[in-house]
Homo-oligomer: A and B are copies of this chain.
Amino acid sequence: MALDTAKKNKQKQRREAQRSGSRETVELIFEATARILAAHGRAGLNTNRIAEVAGVSIGSLYGYFPNKQAILLAMARRELDHLRDRVKVALAPAPGDSPIDPARRAIRALIKGYTARGRVRRILMETLFSMGGHEEMARPVSEVAELLRGRAGDLLPAEAPSPSEMRLYVLTRAVDNTIRTASYENIDFLHSTAFEDELVRLVRVYFLEP
Which one of A75-83, A91-99, A166-174 is at the B interface?
A166-174
A60 within 8 A of partner (CB): no
Inter-chain contacts of A17 with B (CB < 8 A): 2
Q: Which residue of B lies closest to A207 (CB)?
A: B205
Inter-chain contacts of A134 with B (CB < 8 A): 184-186
Which one of A23-31, A109-117, A146-154, A187-195 is at the B interface?
A187-195
Given A3-B16, A134-B185, A44–B170 Cβ distance below 8 Å? Answer: no
Is there an interface contact between A2 and B198, defined as CB atoms closer than 8 Å? no
CA distance A122 to B4 in the complex (A): 17
Is there an interface contact between B198 and A166, defined as CB atoms closer than 8 Å? yes
Inter-chain contacts of A13 with B (CB < 8 A): 46, 48-49, 52
A residues contacting the other copy or chain, number (CB 8 A): 58
Describe A's contact surface by its main secondary structure: helix
Is there an interface contact between A194 and B177, defined as CB atoms closer than 8 Å? no
Is there an interface contact between A138 and B10, defined as CB atoms closer than 8 Å? no
Inter-chain contacts of A65 with B (CB < 8 A): none
What is the minimal beta-carbon distance from A126 to any residue of chain B, in angstroms? 6
What is the minimal beta-carbon distance from A120 to any residue of chain B, in angstroms? 13
Inter-chain contacts of A162 with B (CB < 8 A): none
Inter-chain contacts of A175 with B (CB < 8 A): 174
Residues of chain A touching chain B, judged by Cβ–Cβ distance below 8 Å, are 1-7, 9-11, 13, 15-18, 40-44, 46, 48-49, 52, 122-123, 126, 129-130, 134-135, 138, 166-167, 169-170, 173-175, 177-178, 180-182, 184-187, 189, 194-195, 198-199, 201-202, 205-206, 209
The 26 sampled A-B contact pairs (Cβ below 8 Å) are A2-B16, A3-B16, A5-B9, A5-B11, A5-B16, A5-B40, A5-B44, A7-B9, A11-B40, A13-B48, A15-B48, A126-B126, A135-B185, A138-B181, A166-B194, A170-B199, A173-B177, A174-B175, A174-B178, A174-B202, A177-B177, A201-B206, A202-B206, A205-B205, A205-B209, A206-B206
